[in-house]
Amino acid sequence: QPVLTQSSSASASLGSSVTLTCTLSSGHRSYTIAWHQQQPGKAPRYLMKLAGSGSYNKGSGVPDRFSGSSSGADRYLSISNLQFEDEADYYCETWDSNTQKVFGGGTKLTVL
């Protein structure tokens, strides 16, 4: 089954930009993923679906500051003009037909 690898933490300054990475395991480079945001003490929130082609579809109400892109096995979530409310855990998710869904370990983003 696919494995999703994420860095455990990232940090960036208020008003700057940051890019988070989710890497698909060998043999699963073409998979579509989703990005989810989980603010402290809250339920996860769907941000976007991101295909291997780099095309993405955002969820309702997701600010324009959030965008996605892809390169090979890597799937990226970029956040511009960082706000304090962007401080959260970010998870990527994919699926393996007829077996299971898979989540990455999550990246904890700190806004300085």
Identify the DSSP state of 80: -
Q: Which is nearer to other proteins, 56 or 111 (CB)?
A: 56
Paired with 65 in beta bridges are none
- Kindly tell me which of 3 and 44 has the beta carbon lying closer to other proteins: 44
Residues 25-64 that bind other proteins (CB under 8 A): 32-34, 36, 38, 43-46, 49, 59
**What is the C-alpha to C-alpha distance for residues 102 and 100, in angstroms, rounded to an integer?**
6
Q: Which residues bind other proteins (CB under 8 A)?
A: 32-34, 36, 38, 43-46, 49, 59, 89, 91, 93-106
